[in-house]
Structure 1
Amino acid sequence: MPAVPLILATITGCSMTGKKSQEIPPAGTSNSSDASDAMEKVSSGIYDLIGVKGKTSDSRPGVTDCPGKDAKAYFRIFHPWSFYPASESDLGVAMERLKAELPKRGWRIVEYGPDTSRNKNINLTADNDEKKVGVSIVQMVKNDPPKLSLTVVSGCYKVPDGEEVKRF
């Protein structure tokens, strides 16, 4: 999983803080399993906003460290997944719906526009301060098949006293 640290670094560079920093907000106290379940619910809510027919990849959340914190007591949850529209022409529709609907559901768009790749993929990064999560969405038109690549990532959780982080 070498791409995950890059993705997380990209997201944490501006996500959930509104400024370029490595500051990651606290997300509360939870064990890894409950935090993972909560992250799947966030991803499901984003999926519901897409509003076009298609299928998703079958991926599960994972656990990663909180930079600068005790790895036995603090963790973050990340959930990478993809959406493949039933019709190639619906890819842009799905991205535009997300851009319009996320702010109506408590998300703040912190970045939107083409990346510097040869394909000029459209990137959308948004934060939900209430839920202490961020999402990075990349519209990959030239992928075969075309898709939206999404990574949802939490703030830093602390495990309950007497417990340690369970990694998966």
Structure 2
Amino acid sequence: MKIGVPDTYFLDNVDHSVGIAFDNAVGLLARRGVKVECVPVPFIDAILAYGGVLDSVEAASIHAEWMRSRPQDCSPDISWLYAGYAVPATYYLEALSRRGPILREFSKSVFSRVDVLATPTIPTCIPTLAETNIEHRSVVGEGYRDFQLPWPSNRKRELRFRSKRNADWSLLYRAPIR
């Protein structure tokens, strides 16, 4: 098996401890006989640009009814979703039509050299509960547990997670694009 380590983007601006943990994990695999190769990640700017357009429009669409019918339950943290309403349909369709061919070329370029592309899951360390602003409050009559984390980028946003009180905390990570 040959593992690819990206030469750009995925390892840019990661927390120091995330970088060390990633290097240690890749090093362990190399010591166990896995071949490791640094690989270029082509088209990353286009992938991010088109993905940003699609994410913005689709997130706004998915949450539109909720944002209209229950604006009192919308956190200021989600104000970025409103930008998706302003994306012209022509930009959305262009991003939709170009993303697939670019991702196919990305995949062909990377996976013709390696079997797996290894990247950190997220660029930052997850804070402990003590480092968050845990609140217990009632939302629409049901008890919820609510907490916010700093957004893992340079943008001034936070991630908000909410679950019913006494429920298991579980988070879904986005599925790979096919």
Using structure 1 for the length normalisation, give the TM-score.
0.25
More strand by share: 1
Structure with bigger RCO (C-alpha 8 Å, 6+ apart): 1
